[in-house]
Structures are given as structure tokens and as C-alpha cells.
Amino acid sequence: MKLISNFLLFFLVTGTGISSVYAGDSVSLDVPPASLEKWYKPANKRQVWLHTMFALRREMQAISEYAEQKDKPGMEKWISRLEKHYSKIADMVPEWKKEIKPRLLSELKMFAEKGDMYRVAKTLKMIQRTCDDCHSSYQPLVVAMYRSPHYEDIKVKDINGALESFSDNMENLSDSVNRILIALDDNHKTTALQASQNLVSQLQNLGESCNRCHKDDEYPRERILGEVTQQRFAKLKSDISAGRVKDSQDLMGEIAVTVCARCHNTHRIVNDLRDALLLEE
């Protein structure tokens, strides 16, 4: 488990906020209760909290749609489900018991039974507001703490087959990219070719770690390291061998955007946010 850094905790707890460089506004983020952690992976086998939130949203949408259709049985079915999941919030995170309003569920049921669709819609909006208020206070930090990738325990093979940390793998990838560019700039064809082959091997080894999160889904790896990327590296080898320095440099730029940046934009942003907000205990 990680803790909020002392510097940021001061701002978060005192409500002073973290200033936005561009907007000139300030925001404050509340630290979620520790009891929330057990409802997220890896503390839990399933993403129980997320599935509960998804269910609540689906149930409120169903009630709203059936209210518009004046379908009383449809409303009552989904109100019953909403009541179950909404009440479950306080059971899972006792510290948030005061954040929810159980009386609104009783009123919702009463208005539905009476067929008062106007008050059903109004009460539903009040329930939604309790959700929105909680999200505004806690959601950014919850995402950083429990929904960002964890790479600390992932090991990747280096080009010699030895296991290395994810951090070391990233450093070595960067070294290979720069070695290619340096060699191209200095017209060292043999070095550029060897470095490009090393980069291909490193990326292949990195791709083997994708299934740690993506399991049996091959699409994320294919999108970044698939056939199109392989074609680019084949062309890079051809361009370097033929002495086409400018073409090789341009192609390296394409690879940097379609491989490195594409992966970083998906994974690194949230991970860096998490590391900035949280410190190891």
C-alpha cells in the first residue's frame, strides 16, 4: 500500500488545493478511506467496487427510461436492484455511510408506486447528486491509487535472456533508440543495424509481458507491436543497409510515435500520476 506524500497530503487535507498552472484555479482531492482498497484488485480477486458502480449507473438509467415510458413494473424491478447496490456502499465502506441518503430510495419507491413520474425523476436526480458529490471529492485519487498500472513486480527478458525489471527494460529500450539515431547521424551503418535488431528483440520481449494485464486479449499487443510495426522495422533494416539515412531517421520518428508514444499515452500517464501522488510506505 502507498501513502500520499507529505507535501501533497498537506494540500489535500487542509483544502488549500493543488493549483492549476494554466487555468489559475485550485482543486482539492480527498483521501479515500483505507477500507476501499479491499474492494479493488489486487486486494480482491474481482473489481467489486467498480462492478457495483457500473450496476448503480445501469439501474438509474433503467429507472429513468421506464419512468419516461410510464412503465411501473419496469421501474419497480430496477428500483429494487438500485436499493440493494446503493445500500451496499455503506456496508463496503462504513466511512461513507453519511454520504449516502437511504431515505431517497424509500421516497423513490413510494413515488413509483403512486405513478408520480415527475417526482421519480426528481428523486433520481437527487440520488445521482450524492454519487456525483462523492466522485468529485474522491474519484481522481481513487483512479491514481487503484486503477493505475503496477509494474514493480513485472520482469522482462533482456536481449541475453536474463530477467530485468520493467524500469531497466525501459531504460535499455531508450538506449537502443538513441544508439540507432546516433549511429545514423554519424553514418555508422553496422552499429545502426545491430542496434535496430536489439530494439526489435527488446520489444518482442516486452510484448510478452502484455498478458499480465490483458490476459488472453491479443489486440492491445497487436495494435502496438503487431504486423504494421514489424513492417516498419523491416523497412528500417532495408533503409539502413542501403545507406538511406534521412529515410531511416524519418522511420525512427514514426516508430517513436506509433510504438513508444502510443504505449506511453495509454499506460505511463496514469502510472506517473500515481507515482507523483503516492509514496512507498
Same domain, 190 and 264: yes
Q: What is the pLDDT of residue 72?
A: 93
DSSP string, 119-130: HHHHHHHHHHHH
Indicate the residue among 146, 178, 198 that finishes a domain.
Answer: 146
Q: What total number of domains does the chain contain?
A: 2
Note the Cα 109 to chain centre separation in Å. Answer: 36
> Is 3 among the domain residues?
no
pLDDT per residue as tens, the chain (281 positions): 444 444 343 333 334 344 444 445 665 667 899 999 999 988 999 999 999 999 999 999 999 999 999 999 999 999 999 999 999 999 999 999 998 999 999 999 999 999 999 999 999 999 999 999 999 888 888 888 888 777 877 899 999 999 999 889 999 999 999 999 999 999 999 999 999 999 999 999 999 888 888 888 888 889 899 999 999 999 999 999 999 999 999 999 999 999 999 998 888 887 787 777 765 54
Same domain, 234 and 127: no
Same domain, 90 and 160: no
> Is 23 among the domain residues?
no
Same domain, 141 and 170: no
**141: exposed, middle or buried (C-beta count within 10 Å: 0-12, 13-18, 19+)?**
buried
Q: What is the pLDDT of residue 167?
A: 87
Same domain, 266 and 164: yes
Same domain, 164 and 142: no
> Is 139 among the domain residues?
yes
Half-sphere exposure of 112 (CA within 13 A, CB side): 26
> Is 16 among the domain residues?
no
Same domain, 196 and 142: no
> Is 261 among the domain residues?
yes
Same domain, 128 and 179: no
Side chain identity at residue 66, one-letter code: Y
Q: Which domain holds residue 244?
A: 155-280
245 Cβ neighbours under 8 A, 6+ residues apart: 184, 185, 187
Indicate the residue among 94, 122, 146 that finishes a domain.
Answer: 146
Same domain, 267 and 164: yes
Q: What is the pLDDT of residue 26?
A: 60
> Is 22 among the domain residues?
no
Q: What is the pLDDT of residue 28?
A: 63
Q: How many residues appear in the chain?
A: 281
Q: How far apart are CA 171 and CA 186, in angstroms?
A: 22
pTM, rounded to two decimals: 0.68
Same domain, 141 and 173: no
Helix (H) or strand (E) holding 203: helix 189-207
> Is 21 among the domain residues?
no
Q: What is the pLDDT of residue 9?
A: 39
> Is 13 among the domain residues?
no
Indicate the residue among 92, 122, 146 that finishes a domain.
Answer: 146
Q: What is the pLDDT of residue 210?
A: 87
